[in-house]
């Protein structure tokens, strides 16, 4: 089955800096790659996703890049703010199906 590896497990940045989280996947048939943000005591919330027919997608300060050949995808957050502090999860799936998640990255943005 699919296996998703996520790095780093923790990331500390200063407010205004950029943050990058990287994930690799094992199943070349996976074609949907969402990123979720989870705040303490809440369920994960989708922040951005990408499908395998595009290499990059951007939404304001957040962007995701996908390299199908290398089977890795990354989340980029620019101009980080304290409210970006949370746990971020990457995931992969084949179409409308169950998601396989990475183990998460705890992002801490210090003012």
Partner 1 sequence: GAGVSQSPSNKVTEKGKDVELRCDPISGHTALYWYRQSLGQGLEFLIYFQGNSAPDKSGLPSDRFSAERTGGSVSTLTIQRTQQEDSAVYLCASSLEYEQFFGPGTRLTVL
Q: Site residues (CB under 8 A) for partner 1?
A: 4, 6, 32, 34, 36, 41-46, 49, 51, 89, 91, 95-104
Give the nearer residue to partner 1 in terms of CB position, either 14 or 53: 53
First to last CA, the chain: 41
Shortest Å, Cβ 85 to partner 1: 17
Tokens of 30: 């996976």
Shortest Å, Cβ 65 to partner 1: 18
Give whole-number Cα distances, 56 to 15, 44, 47, 98, in Å. 24, 22, 14, 23
Q: Which helix (H) or strand (E) holds 89?
A: strand 86-92
Give the nearer residue to partner 1 in terms of CB position, either 47 or 77: 47
Give the nearer residue to partner 1 in terms of CB position, either 27 or 49: 49
Give the nearer residue to partner 1 in terms of CB position, either 68 or 78: 68
Shortest Å, Cβ 107 to partner 1: 15
Shortest Å, Cβ 41 to partner 1: 7
Residue located via tokens 């990255």: 105
């Amino acid at each position: 089955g699919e296996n998703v590896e996520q790095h780093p497990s923790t990331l500390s940045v200063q407010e205004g800096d950029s943050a990058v989280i990287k994930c690799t996947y094992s199943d070349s048939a996976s074609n949907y790659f969402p990123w979720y943000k989870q705040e303490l005591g809440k369920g994960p919330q989708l922040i951005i996703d990408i499908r395998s027919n595009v290499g990059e997608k951007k939404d304001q300060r957040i962007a995701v890049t996908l390299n199908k050949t290398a089977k890795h995808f990354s989340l980029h957050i620019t101009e980080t703010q304290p409210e970006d502090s949370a746990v971020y999860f990457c995931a992969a799936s084949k179409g409308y199906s169950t998601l396989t998640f990475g183990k998460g990255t705890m992002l801490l943005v210090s003012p």
